[in-house]
């Protein structure tokens, strides 16, 4: 026989979520989840070691803990050690499954969809856990033993009755362990700075390293692309110059001489660290006397126009070139 409650379902939900005290561990989980979102998206925090300290443990523990809290609301279901171990294992599985599912959607595996999915999943599990605990007798509900753990640690590290010498030694050992943990977190959160470099490349009209405009007619435009990638670990203001040239090669000395070097276009391109920009460029040559296009990239030091020829090419930070054959229209 099924017994139906006289209390309407809406009143039950209202009583559960507004009249019942929200469990302390679920409150901490919600605050931690909010801290993860702030650490990822808040400009003040997302470039500091605090981001890794908050986000990494949260992603590896929080989703699984919320699921375990929803599945096992009673204190007698499983013990604390099992809850913590299962939370870590299930968090890894949940995040992996979310990434696998997003891989088969149009949004793909990106930061925003992953964070949205993890946040929704965790919040739903927190609400389910609270709902299930609220319908249990108070003495049977699971409570995370924050104060018991803190008292146990305090009595273990600083037992009563020890001499002042023992207490000083224990303080020194505790501070040394804390310093070692913080140093480890810092090494993980702030990896050693890698090599600084800048990418500079040209692409054909289909944005690949092919189909370059090598045979062109004077006066016509030929679409291509110029790419710059900043990996200098700081903001950079690049200057891109194009020069139309005619070269002469001497077989006896095995050297090339610049006969003509006329300026083309000039562009200033500001880029943040780890930012790559590919910009469209129309190549146009007005005369058939040229046979080479030189693309020069300068960082924050651009020489004056009195520096020409090979000296200007050598003064550039990066350079690429394109050999062309020009025909009269």
| Per-residue pLDDT tens digits of the chain, which is 329 residues long | 334 444 555 555 545 555 567 888 899 999 999 999 998 888 877 777 778 888 888 888 999 999 999 999 998 888 888 888 999 999 999 999 998 898 888 877 888 899 999 999 999 999 999 988 888 888 888 888 877 666 666 666 566 666 677 677 777 877 777 777 666 666 655 555 567 899 999 999 888 888 898 888 988 999 999 999 999 888 999 999 999 999 888 888 888 888 999 999 999 999 998 899 999 999 988 888 899 999 999 988 899 888 989 999 999 999 999 999 988 86
Q: Distance (Å, rounded) from C-alpha 154 to C-alpha 49?
A: 28
DSSP line for 276-326: EEEEEEEE--S-TT--EEEEEEE-S----TT--HHHHHHHSSEEEEEE-EE
DSSP state of 141: B
Give the residue among 262, 276, 280 at the shortest CA–CA distance from 226. 280
Give the residue among 292, 293, 297, 291 at the shortest CA–CA distance from 319. 297
Around Cβ 43, how many Cβ atoms within 10 Å? 6
Q: What three-state secondary structure class fits 6? A: coil
Q: Which CATH architecture has domain 197-327?
A: Sandwich (2.60)
| pTM of the model as a whole | 0.51
Q: In the chain, what are the domain boundaries? A: 9-144, 197-327
Give the residue among 47, 121, 103 at the shortest CA–CA distance from 272. 47
Backbone angles phi, psi at 15, to 5 degrees: -65, -40
Q: Which residue has the tokens 């040239």?
A: 245
Beta strands 276-283 and 222-231 are: antiparallel
């Amino acid at each position: 026989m099924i017994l139906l409650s006289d209390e309407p379902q809406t009143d039950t939900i209202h009583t559960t979520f507004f009249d019942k005290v929200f469990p302390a561990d679920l409150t901490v989980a919600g605050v931690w989840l909010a801290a993860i979102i702030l650490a990822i998206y808040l400009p003040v925090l997302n470039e500091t070691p605090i981001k890794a300290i908050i986000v990494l443990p949260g992603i590896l523990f929080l989703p699984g803990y919320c699921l375990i809290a929803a599945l096992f609301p009673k204190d007698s279901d499983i013990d604390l050690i099992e809850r913590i171990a299962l939370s870590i294992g299930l968090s890894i599985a949940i995040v992996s499954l979310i990434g696998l599912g997003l891989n088969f959607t149009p949004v793909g595996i990106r930061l925003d969809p992953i964070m949205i999915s993890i946040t929704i999943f965790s919040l739903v599990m927190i609400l389910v856990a609270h709902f299930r605990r609220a319908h249990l007798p108070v003495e049977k509900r699971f409570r995370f033993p924050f104060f018991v753990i803190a008292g146990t640690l305090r009595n273990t590290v600083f037992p009563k009755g020890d001499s002042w010498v023992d207490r000083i030694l224990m303080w020194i050992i505790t501070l040394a362990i804390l310093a070692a943990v913080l140093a480890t977190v810092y090494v993980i959160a702030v990896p050693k700075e890698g090599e600084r470099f800048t990418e500079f490349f040209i692409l054909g009209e289909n944005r690949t390293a092919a189909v370059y405009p090598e045979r062109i007619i004077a006066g016509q435009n030929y679409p291509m692309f110029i790419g710059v990638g900043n990996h200098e670990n700081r903001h950079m203001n690049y200057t891109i110059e194009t020069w139309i040239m005619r070269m002469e090669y001497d077989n006896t000395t095995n050297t090339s001489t610049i006969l003509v070097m006329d300026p083309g276009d000039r562009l200033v391109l500001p880029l943040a660290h780890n930012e790559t920009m590919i910009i469209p460029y129309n190549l146009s040559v007005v005369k058939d006397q040229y046979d080479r296009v030189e693309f020069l990239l300068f960082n924050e030091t651009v020489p004056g126009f009195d520096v020409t020829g090979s000296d200007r090419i050598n003064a550039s930070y990066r350079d690429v070139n394109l050999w062309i054959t020009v025909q009269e229209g």
